[in-house]
């Protein structure tokens, strides 16, 4: 898919009925395909009301066709956009007719993400921007839409590029001195190399913070509600969701399967997984639910460990064992919030004596739920501001983390007693490579193919 140079075609609009459906064709030989379709050449960037006919001269559709000549198009190649009537069967017919008439020119159906891939390969957008197109389409909240739009405009890429530029400058400085017999420590001081490196590290850190927020905006938070049966997990989920989404009954083990509910708290998408009572069971359905609960725990961003505050003093061996097991299964660094439910069952003196020590809530009365929501946002590291936010992916965070490790190492090679300019420069180069992978430079082809293949067809 990376190298094929054939013209491609796909329906660009969503499946289903609509007023208008858009079909996009892009690639070489498009002039010939256009004249085969409409017996004429189209003036670029002009709307043309045209009729498409089948082999018998029968009208398939009257449509608007716009021709974009390379390189002034989305893909950077010639593009023909057909705005047809939006019926799925009709679009199918138009597609078939185009493929028939474009056959001699090698017209083929596009792979997922192939239009964006070509835009990327033709340097119309970089990889982070291409990803932002997919994220814009998949956005789950208004804030995510705005973040994706900023990334698509290049906000994220520009920051990455200016960081790369500063590292490049520093490298040039260091590498040009490698050939001179100057004392290495002397050089570092004269060039203020350490200070400059520190500035770069600060910038990288700020970028990482922004990207972390961006990932939360894009993916939301996987929040697992864990705890023994009957402590009120389903009730809390309902309370947070503000509607009845899980079955609440007083019988232990009712929640047989995990229930996933997506809500937003303070604009942040939260995917809340209500775990089935995590206990040994002979019931197959229940066992399946428990298995999936463990999977969810292994991928959590945050776990709320819920306890029943009215029975808190009688927490017994198995419950403590279960908790230890959960703590062991969490991804590293996953925060755990201990929350005590059913505060309404505590006497006011009990409640006073526990105040400030832990989070007490009542899923029944709603008491403490607002504070819990704040605590959740704080714990997942949501900065609370969506102003200027971009969207980011796990992939970007991983690259930033690896770049950071290399900058740390490069700093070590500039430390007194351990100076090696050669290794200093080498670590700078490695950091730069990692940053370059975010915008797509130096990214291996197989990874590139994998990223684009996750796009929808027609993008």
Selected from 90, 108, 149, 248, the binder of ligand GDP by CB under 6 A is 248
List Cβ neighbours of 175 (8 Å cut-off, separation of 6 or more): 425
Residue 331: CB minimum distance to ligand GDP, A: 23
List Cβ neighbours of 302 (8 Å cut-off, separation of 6 or more): 221, 222, 223, 224, 334, 335, 336, 337, 376, 379, 380
Helix (H, G, I), strand (E, B) or coil at 300: coil
Nearer to ligand GDP, 178 or 320 (CB): 320
The rounded distance, in Å, linking the Cα atoms of 370 and 459 is 40
Examine residue 234 and tell whether it contacts Zn ion (CB under 5 A): yes
Residue 261: CB minimum distance to ligand GDP, A: 13
List Cβ neighbours of 458 (8 Å cut-off, separation of 6 or more): 10, 11, 12, 13, 24, 110, 115
Nearer to ligand GDP, 200 or 304 (CB): 304
- The region of 126-134, 214-222, 255-263, 435-443 touching Zn ion under the rule CB under 5 A is 255-263
Nearer to Zn ion, 255 or 293 (CB): 255
Structure tokens at 262: 């997506």
Give the up-direction half-sphere exposure of residue 114: CA atoms within 13 A in the CB hemisphere.
24
Name which of residues 264 to 323 contact ligand GDP (CB under 6 A).
277
Residue 368: CB minimum distance to ligand GDP, A: 9
Examine residue 255 and tell whether it contacts Zn ion (CB under 5 A): yes
Closest residue by Cα to residue 361 from 336, 332, 334, 338: 338
Nearer to ligand GDP, 244 or 401 (CB): 244
Please give the biggest Cα pair distance in the chain: 88
Q: How many helices (H) and strands (E) does the chain have?
A: 16, 12
CB contact at 8 A, 143 and 42: no
Residue 375: CB minimum distance to ligand GDP, A: 17
Nearer to ligand GDP, 63 or 304 (CB): 304
Nearer to Zn ion, 82 or 259 (CB): 259
Other beta carbons less than 10 A from residue 63's beta carbon: 22
Selected from 75, 293, 362, 410, the binder of ligand GDP by CB under 6 A is 362
Selected from 64, 345, 430, 456, the binder of ligand GDP by CB under 6 A is 345
Please give the distance of CA 431 from its chain centroid, rounded to a whole number: 22
Q: Of Zn ion, ligand GDP, none, which one does residue 91 interact with (CB within 5 to 8 Å by kind)?
A: none
Binding residue numbers for GTP: 230-235, 249-255, 274-277
Binding footprint of ligand GDP on the chain (CB under 6 A): 227, 229-235, 248-250, 254-255, 277, 341-342, 344-345, 362-364
């Amino acid at each position: 898919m990376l190298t094929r140079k054939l013209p491609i075609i796909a329906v660009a609009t969503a499946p289903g009925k609509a007023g208008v459906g858009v079909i996009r064709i892009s690639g070489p030989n498009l002039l010939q395909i256009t004249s085969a379709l409409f017996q004429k050449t189209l003036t670029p960037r002009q709307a043309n009301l045209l009729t498409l006919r089948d082999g018998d001269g029968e009208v398939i559709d009257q449509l608007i066709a716009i021709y974009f000549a390379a390189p002034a198009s989305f893909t950077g190649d010639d593009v023909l956009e057909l705005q047809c009537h939006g019926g799925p069967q009709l679009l199918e017919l138009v597609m078939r007719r185009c493929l028939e008439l474009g056959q001699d020119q090698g017209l083929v159906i596009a792979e997922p993400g192939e239009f964006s891939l070509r835009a990327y390969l033709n340097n119309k957008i970089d990889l982070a921007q291409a990803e932002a197109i997919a994220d814009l389409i998949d956005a789950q909240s208004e804030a995510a839409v705005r973040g994706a739009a900023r990334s698509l405009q290049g906000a994220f890429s520009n920051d990455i590029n200016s960081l790369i530029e500063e590292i490049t400058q520093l490298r040039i400085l260091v590498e040009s001195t490698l050939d001179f017999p100057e004392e290495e420590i002397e050089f570092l001081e004269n060039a203020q190399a350490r200070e400059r490196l520190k500035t770069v590290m600060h910038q990288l850190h700020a970028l990482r913070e922004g990207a972390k927020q961006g990932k939360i905006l894009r993916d939301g938070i996987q929040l697992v509600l864990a705890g023994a049966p009957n402590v009120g997990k389903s009730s809390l989920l309902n309370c947070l969701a503000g509607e009845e989404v899980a079955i609440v009954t007083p019988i232990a083990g009712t929640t047989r399967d995990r229930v996933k509910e997506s809500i937003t708290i303070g604009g942040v998408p939260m995917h809340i997984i209500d775990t089935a009572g995590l206990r040994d069971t002979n019931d197959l359905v229940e066992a399946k639910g428990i298995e999936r609960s463990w999977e969810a725990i292994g991928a959590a961003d945050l776990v709320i460990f819920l306890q029943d505050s009215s029975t808190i003093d009688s927490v017994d061996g198995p419950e403590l064992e279960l908790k230890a097991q959960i703590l062991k299964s969490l991804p590293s660094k996953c925060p755990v919030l201990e929350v005590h439910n059913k505060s309404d069952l505590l006497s006011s003196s009990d409640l006073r004596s526990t105040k400030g020590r832990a989070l007490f809530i009542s899923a029944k009365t709603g008491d403490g739920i607002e504070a819990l929501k704040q605590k959740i946002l704080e714990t997942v590291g949501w900065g609370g501001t969506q102003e200027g936010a971009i969207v980011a992916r796990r992939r970007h965070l991983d690259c930033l983390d690896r770049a950071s490790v290399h900058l740390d190492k490069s700093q070590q090679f500039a430390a007194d007693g351990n100076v090696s300019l050669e290794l200093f420069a080498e670590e700078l180069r490695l950091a730069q490579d990692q940053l370059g992978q975010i915008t797509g430079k130096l990214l291996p082809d197989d990874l590139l193919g994998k990223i684009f293949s996750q796009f929808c067809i027609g993008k």
